[in-house]
Amino acid sequence: MRKISMFVVLYVVWCLLVFPYDRTTGQWDTQSLLVGLVAALVVVVLFGNALPDRSCFLLAPRRWFWALVYIPFFAYYCLKANLEVAYLVLHPDMPIRPGIVKVRTSLRTRVAITALANSITLTPGTLTVDADEDGTLYVHWIDVKFAEDDEATREIVSRFEGHLRRIFE
C-alpha cells in the first residue's frame, strides 16, 4: 500500500515536470509517459523502505479536500504576516520585543508536526526554533504578547491544529 501510493505520487510529479501533452496538436507524448513509468518503478523498488510508514494518507480524497480548504486560510495568514513584517521593517524605530516561548501541540504524527512547524514559520511574527518528539515546539516570537505556555499556545498554535489534524491524522 505504501509503495503503491509512493508510486502514484512520483508518477504525478514526473508528469507535472515533463508535461507530456501538446496542446497545439492535442497528442500525448507516449515516450515520456513510458520513461516516467520505468523511472518511478525503479525509485520505488530502490527506496521504497526509506519513507515514513504512514504515507498511505496521500491517497485519501477527503484529506485532499481539507488540504484545498487549508490553502486560502493559510494564504490569508501568510499575506498578513508579510504586511506586518513590511510595517516593522519600514518603521523608523522598529518596535520589536523578541523572545523564545514554548508551546504545546496535541498533534502526534511526525508529518503533522512538521507541517505545523512550517506553517508557524510562515505566519505572523513567529519562527519555529526546535521541536520535540512529544509535541513541544520552541517558537521565536518577534513581538511577545504572552510569555506563559498556555496563552502562547492559544495564540500561536490553535488556529492551525484543527485543520492539520483533519489533513494528516
Partner 1 sequence: MNEYIGVAIVIVGLAFDVFGCVGLVRLPDIYTRLQAATKCVTLGTCMILIGIAILTGLNATGVKALVCMAFVLITSPTAAHAIARGAYKFGVKLEEPTVVDRYAETQTDEGRS
Residues that bind partner 1 (CB under 8 A): 13, 16-19, 23, 78-79, 81-82, 85-86, 88-90, 94, 96-102, 114, 117-118, 121-122, 125-130, 138, 140, 142, 144, 147, 149
| CB-nearer residue toward partner 1: 5 or 114 | 114
> CB of 161 within 8 A of CB of 137?
no
CB of 157 to partner 1, least distance (A): 15
Query: Which residue's CB is nearer to partner 1, number 98 or number 162?
Result: 98
Q: Closest distance between partner 1 and the C-beta of residue 124, in Å?
A: 9
Residues 6+ apart with CB under 8 A from 122: 74, 77, 78, 81
Cβ-based nearer residue to partner 1, 19 or 64: 19
Rank residues 36 and 125 by Cβ distance to partner 1 and give the closer one: 125
Under 8 Å between Cβ of 120 and 137: yes
In angstroms, give the least distance from the CB of 117 to partner 1: 6
Cβ proximity of 144 and 99 under 8 Å:
yes
Nearest CB to partner 1, comparing residues 60 and 129: 129
Q: Residue 134 has which C-alpha cell?
A: 512529544
What's the per-residue H, E or C state across 76-143? HHHHHHHHHHHHHHHCCCCCCECEEEEEECCCCCHHHHHHHHHHHHHCCCEEEEEECCCCEEEEEECE
Rounded least distance, CB 109 to partner 1, Å = 17
Q: Measured from the CB of residue 32, what is the shortest distance to partner 1 in angstroms?
A: 11
